Amino acid sequence: MHSPVLAIRRTPLVAVYGTLKRGLRNHHWLAGAEFIGADTLDDVTLYDLGHCPGAKSEPSHGIDVELYRVDARGLRDLDRLEDYRVRAPRSGTYDRVIQRTAFGPAWLYLYNLDIAECPAIRAGGWPSTS
């Protein structure tokens, strides 16, 4: 396993799909990050958790994401927000994985918890736009 500092040298990009997007309540966590652009991912499905979405690695018809360039501190802050645990990634609320995007590889947070009762969003974004 690579440390977050070494890994960010490989990809300083992060793809966001929920409350971190522009205009939503947690976007301030990306203060100082550079907006790179928007993309659509067809191998990620969102689940509406009510207060936020959770992503699973599942085929979709295209989920909207925004990409940002972050520094090591910004990535650590996002890890804290998303309850990503570097030493035990599957034990936190979210895991952080490398995702292919139109702008190159980017970090993406995948939801670790149960989504059995949550509505799927297989196209568009959150809040649901489809």
CATH number at residue 46: 3.10.490.10
C-alpha–C-alpha distance, residues 89 and 100, integer Å: 19
Per-residue model confidence (pLDDT) at position 5? 46
Q: Which domain covers residue 10, as residue numbers?
A: 4-121
pTM of the model: 0.88
Cβ neighbours around 31 below 10 Å, total:
8
Please check whether residue 93 lies inside any domain of the structure: yes
Provide the pLDDT confidence category of residue 10 given band limits of 50, 70 and 90.
low
Looking at the 3D structure of the chain, how many domains does it have?
1
Provide the pLDDT confidence category of residue 11 given band limits of 50, 70 and 90.
low
Predicted confidence (pLDDT) per residue in 74-102, tens digit = 999 999 999 999 889 889 999 999 999 99
Please check whether residue 12 lies inside any domain of the structure: yes
Please check whether residue 55 lies inside any domain of the structure: yes
C-alpha–C-alpha distance, residues 18 and 3, integer Å: 25
Predicted confidence (pLDDT) per residue in 13-37, tens digit = 999 999 999 999 999 999 999 999 9
Q: What angle do CA 28, 94, 21 make, to 5 degrees?
A: 30
- DSSP class of residue 71 equals -
Please check whether residue 90 lies inside any domain of the structure: yes
- Cβ-based burial of 63 (10 A; exposed 0-12, middle 13-18, buried ≥19): buried
Please check whether residue 94 lies inside any domain of the structure: yes
Please check whether residue 127 lies inside any domain of the structure: no
Output the average pLDDT for the chain.
90
Please check whether residue 129 lies inside any domain of the structure: no
Q: Considering only CA atoms, which of 81, 73, 91, 88 is closest in space to residue 20?
A: 81
Please check whether residue 126 lies inside any domain of the structure: no
C-alpha–C-alpha distance, residues 64 and 60, integer Å: 11
More confident residue, 9 or 111: 111
Decide: 56 and 115 in contact? Cβ < 8 Å.
yes
